[in-house]
Structure 1
Amino acid sequence: MLQAVYSLRYYLEKRGFYVSSRLADRLGMRAKSVRLFFIYVSFATLGVGFALYLTMAFLLKLKDLVNTKRTSVFDL
């Protein structure tokens, strides 16, 4: 089991980062810069998603407060 994890890790390290290397070669940049760009973008989108989630939660709570169930005139 442990050997399978190590072989998977080796495979991903050997060939998984090749995408960044190929993109860096195509753009004429260093692979380290491309990898850092992907890391920063992933953090940025995570922050945007979290902020969007909080905004939607606030708006739904506000909608629930405004649209409370009103009693009918006939319930008097």
Structure 2
Amino acid sequence: MTPPTEDDDTGIRCRLDELLAERDMTLAELSARVGVSVVNLSVLKNDRARAIRYSTLRAICDALECEVGELLVLAPRV
């Protein structure tokens, strides 16, 4: 089995936009709370991230009061 490349679709989707809307929170507010730049959060939000540190994932989940599985989900296979 070969490791995924930059061009591979992992099938993992980030629900950051939805979670922010549900909590009436902006990306800038989340950035201030977790200490991650708006640019980096935007990369995650737009499913362009290739990796995320566990500490960052934990900080985002703590700020949004959610579980990892609410933030990152598997997209249905087509």
TM-score bucket (shorter structure)? 0.3 to 0.5
TM-score normalised by structure 1 residue count: 0.32
TM-score (norm 2): 0.32
The structure that has the greater radius of gyration is 1
Flag the structure with higher helix content. Answer: 1
Higher relative contact order (CA 8 A, sep 6+): 2
More strand by share: 2
